[in-house]
């Protein structure tokens, strides 16, 4: 019995020294000629998150641009914003409004037209570029991510000269994919993922 107890005592330090697996998060990565933007995709908005991952995996955005940029408001891209609404979006998504997810600086949200159901365009996204946030958009547009690296890039994007429709005079092409990062890796940017 003493031998068994001694063996167990020796095993305990080995078990506690084993590193615990760090939680991982799916992160949207937007590469532009002006730099890279990284944002956490929220688990609390599963349909918008899955849609973003799906379209990124299909390279949907690789021929598109940031098509609407407004200083102190948003950098928006992903599909044409036309008078007819998002007629070229591959599909629409039901809203996923969450009290805990607000339009703070760097929030990533889903664009939509004025449809009464507040359905999101599957492909249209925006990043809040107002340091005070945009609370008037809460519960009207779905927030599904938060930038933790690259707000300097977003600021450069919204500072570009535009035409009368807020489209940049020089196109800002997109390359978008999804990567996996640990909570510790994201935390190095001063963010604790939700």
- List the CATH number of the domain containing 32: 2.40.100.10
Cβ atoms within 10 A of the Cβ of 12, count?
9
Q: How confident is the model at residue 191 (pLDDT cuts 50, 70, 90)?
A: confident
Q: Which range has the worst mean pLDDT, 35-44, 116-125, 137-146, 152-161?
A: 116-125
Domains identified in the chain, total number: 1
**Does residue 5 lie in a domain region?**
no
Four-point Cα dihedral 71, 72, 73, 75, nearest 10: 50
Distance (Å, whole) CA 90 – CA 108: 19
Query: What average pLDDT does range 78-107 have in this prediction?
Result: 81
Q: What domain range includes position 141?
A: 23-187
**Does residue 139 lie in a domain region?**
yes
pLDDT of 174 > 50? The answer is yes
4-40 per-position pLDDT tens digit: 444 434 444 444 444 445 889 999 999 999 999 999 9
Q: How confident is the model at residue 86 (pLDDT cuts 50, 70, 90)?
A: low
- Helix, coil or strand: residue 31: strand
């Amino acid at each position: 019995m003493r031998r068994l107890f001694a063996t167990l005592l020796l095993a305990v330090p080995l078990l506690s020294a084993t590193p615990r697996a760090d939680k991982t998060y799916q992160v949207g990565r937007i590469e532009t000629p002006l730099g890279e933007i990284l944002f956490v995709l929220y688990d609390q908005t599963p349909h918008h998150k899955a849609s973003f991952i799906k379209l990124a995996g299909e390279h949907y955005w690789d021929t598109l641009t940031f098509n609407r940029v407004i200083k102190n408001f948003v950098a928006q891209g992903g599909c044409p914003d036309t008078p007819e609404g998002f007629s070229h979006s591959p599909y629409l998504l039901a809203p996923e409004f969450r009290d805990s997810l607000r339009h703070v600086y760097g929030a990533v949200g889903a664009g939509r037209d004025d449809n009464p159901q507040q359905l999101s365009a599957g492909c249209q996204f925006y990043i809040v570029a107002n340091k005070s946030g945009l609370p008037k958009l809460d519960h009207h547009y779905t927030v599904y991510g938060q930038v933790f690296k690259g707000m300097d890039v977003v600021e450069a994007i919204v500072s570009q000269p535009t035409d009368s429709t807020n489209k940049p005079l020089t196109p800002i092409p997109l390359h978008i994919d999804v990567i996996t990062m640990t909570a510790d890796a994201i935390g190095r940017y001063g963010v604790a993922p939700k």
